[in-house]
Amino acid sequence: MTVDLEESLDAVADESPLVNAVTNNVTVNDVAQVILHWGGLPVMSDDEREVGDMVAASEACLLNMGTVSEAGEATMMAAGESANEAGVPVVVDPVGVGSTPTRDRVAERLASELDVAAIKGNYGEITMLAGDDAEIRGVESVGEYSDIATTAVACAQKFDTVVVASGETDVVATAEAAYEITAGHERMGTVVGTGCMLGATVATFAGAIEDTETAALAGTVGFGLAGEAAAAEEFGEVHGPGSYNVAFKDAVAGLRDTEYDAAEDRIERVLEVDE
């Protein structure tokens, strides 16, 4: 599949999609900043009394269950149902699914009861949602996942959605195909919240680009290229995780004005499902 990253970045900047993020309280500021830096408008309504109205007026809805609670579950369901009624794309980030029965139940409920445009999770989370065994410690994926492309396709088929599986090599999958994204840098793993920020990125691109597969591919590639640019110190000196975090956000904001590889050079179809 051909993806024009420049065109996608311009679409986000031109549309300035309003993205309502019901997200965890650990990375809420990082999520808001990344939505803004791509060119979107973040709003973090997480009150069940108003979230339906806010989501209905938005262009995308992110549901991140990083700090899941009973009230948070109700709010996410209300937000997702409102988004479905209004035709607003929903992106689910099932943070920590596989680590507790509560997270397993909430993630399955969000993915099954809502019409979800995309699911973004790490290798372990996507594997758990697909119905296979995975190793999860807290909210981190551990273990080996040598067949993640096949697993991501299975997850996409199970929930009729686009799947982004983040790891050493990110994978974007639909029910018909899987693509490896060779973009990013190991320093991204030194910062808490990059997974949440990738989910926010996918939601922001989905709010501006009608085709969710294109939005997921473009957002994932752009996210990785920003990580590379920050590590290459194109946006300031990097001395450790703190300065890298700042440089990364600057790279997100400045990617449109930076020289970067064409998206097709970083996307490889690795699996195609025969009909």
- Going by the annotation, the residues of the binding site are 44, 120, 166, 193
Task: Show the tokens assigned to 82.
Answer: 């409102």
Query: Ramachandran region of residue 16, left (φ > 0), alpha (ψ -120 to 50) or beta?
Result: left
Q: Name the binding residues for substrate.
A: 44, 193
Residues 6+ apart with CB under 8 A from 16: 39, 40, 41
Task: Measure the CA–CA gap between 196 and 204, rounded to whole angstroms.
Answer: 12
3-state secondary structure of 91: strand
- What is the bridge-based pairing of β-strands 41-43 and 60-64? unpaired
End-to-end CA distance of the chain: 17
Torsion of CA 33, 35, 36, 39, to 10 degrees: 150
Q: Name the binding residues for ATP.
A: 120, 166
Q: Residue 76: how many CB atoms within 10 A of its CB?
A: 27
Q: Are 268 and 52 in contact (CB under 8 A)?
A: no
Task: Measure the CA–CA gap between 139 and 232, rounded to whole angstroms.
Answer: 28
